[in-house]
Chains A and B, each alone.
Chain A
């Protein structure tokens, strides 16, 4: 009896991201130029964030009032800002901040959202109801507004902005994981695991969770994009990083008053945000198409 059950458990659909499937996924992924383009942007962005100190031609905080607000030149490819700091160097260092924002925000969203979604979907009934009503409440606020409200409570600052953007992502993950769990938990291999005496925790973590990985992966790429965008928005409103930090949204806000005389101060940080956000969006779309061929081109 027990042996038969194990056979059933072994028949469970292969976890979408296993070593054997990676090559197939990669083949499907690279077939789409847009996905590949996204991957290139994201890779360049990661490389920039890691290597910023080596790539930056100047110290990002090195101020010189005599060369303030100069346009792009041979010495300063992207010009200088209102304090005479090199815009290119600040943008390169800003990549580190954006990366931090994206990763921590997604970690908060996944860290809280995935367990709650698992529990809600797996246990159903009262627990599910409670969690989903909380999700309803959180989703009753437009996301930008929720983030602004949280920063109003926590106080302005980069870390609080990151927390706010991360908290906004939590209900998104709860909903998504719950939906996946609802589909998976009725499958035979879950029933088999239960019959074999596996505990709820084991079933959730070992049997159900791996089935939810691919949507989480896709969502995370899209969520990094929206975290960077939202945090830049908070920075622009003056609710994010303080003015001396080279966060892209904050740089844009600082340059805003010179938009007529020195448009490069707003143009370049905006382009940087757009490019990186686009990269993660394309990567997310590409991953979704590769992981779920039925969704191709959607």
Chain B
């Protein structure tokens, strides 16, 4: 197992360097001179040159990238053009909020998705199967931002009105209590629920066709034992991968969900920064999510190898 972990860690390094380099170059491709942005439109050429020197923008690109990486490793994500404050503390604060939302969503999506998948796979081509797969299809086809708005309409307006309540069942915006998490988490989880349900079903159907399931049945084991002890365990291997990948997707999808519910996470921070042309913030947020995604992929690969020994030795 150790050589495998070492190999996977080594593989991740070029990707990390590539990702940081791509982000570094891309942000510099954005039209407009950051020195002018900081010094102000009416600054004298001398002042702009001075700012450029202070920022190190007069240095060759590779040296700039080197400095950028040194700072990154030290946890310095730059300074916001708008607030003139360091970006890192704000990013960490918001990352916690996004992670909270993504984690709750992943748990929800896994529970519901796996349930639907198992129900469908154990009764293939039945009404239950069809119903489960329709729900999964709706999950992958519904725009998250729209689902969010419809939930707000339902739980904050229509249902309270119908029940004669004076306040919304779940608050439409903000954060702080568990009630604030409910609607954003359901919204964000919908897509992943669909993916996990489909994956669980197809993986279960694959496993059920295997010889050892026939053997288990021939031994006279009950369907219940066969399903849960023999089939599900092996069917879960690919499902774990999908769950890991979905966590990354949730981090990205959070941008839209946070925007609907005014959730104070990374996604909203990013969108606001794009509109304010606050490029250090854009760079920092994309960087943090991409690095997070790489780490998650790595962890999934390792988990996968832990669950399925064939991968380690293959």
Is B119 at the interface (CB under 8 A from chain A)?
no
Is A149 at the interface (CB under 8 A from chain B)?
yes
Checking A152, A274, A298 against B274 with a beta-carbon cut-off of 8 angstroms, the contacting residue is A152
Whether the Cβ atoms of A133 and B290 lie closer than 8 Å is: no
The verdict on A282 contacting B137 (CB below 8 Å), with A236-B259, A238-B275 known, is: yes
- Say how far A293's CB is from chain B's closest CB, in angstroms: 14
**Chain A interface residue number, banded:** 35 or more
Checking A149, A153, A232, A270 against B149 with a beta-carbon cut-off of 8 angstroms, the contacting residue is A270
Chain A residues with Cβ below 8 Å from B18 are 133-134, 136-137, 140
The verdict on A281 contacting B141 (CB below 8 Å), with A145-B289, A297-B205 known, is: yes
Chain B residues with Cβ below 8 Å from A134 are 18
Whether the Cβ atoms of B137 and A281 lie closer than 8 Å is: yes
> A249 CA to B143 CA in the complex, in Å?
9
**How many B residues have CB within 8 A of the partner chain?**
49
Most chain B CB within 10 A, of A155, A281, A297, is at A297
Chain A residues with Cβ below 8 Å from B140 are 281
Is B29 at the interface (CB under 8 A from chain A)?
yes
Whether the Cβ atoms of A145 and B255 lie closer than 8 Å is: yes
Whether the Cβ atoms of B141 and A278 lie closer than 8 Å is: yes
Checking A141, A151, A225, A281 against B290 with a beta-carbon cut-off of 8 angstroms, the contacting residue is A141
Number of A-B contacts (CB under 8 A): 128
Whether the Cβ atoms of B249 and A142 lie closer than 8 Å is: yes
Most chain B CB within 10 A, of A144, A149, A249, is at A149
> A140 CA to B137 CA in the complex, in Å?
26
Checking B26, B30, B150, B251 against A267 with a beta-carbon cut-off of 8 angstroms, the contacting residue is B150
> A143 CA to B144 CA in the complex, in Å?
14
List the interface of chain A (C-beta within 8 A of B): 133-134, 136-137, 140-145, 148-149, 151-153, 155, 225, 229, 232-233, 236-239, 249, 252, 256, 259-260, 263, 266-267, 269-270, 273-274, 277-278, 281-282, 297-298
List the interface of chain B (C-beta within 8 A of A): 14-15, 18-19, 22-23, 26-27, 29-31, 124-125, 137-138, 140-147, 149-150, 152-153, 157, 202, 205, 248-249, 251-253, 255-256, 259, 270-271, 274-275, 282, 286, 289-290, 293-294, 297
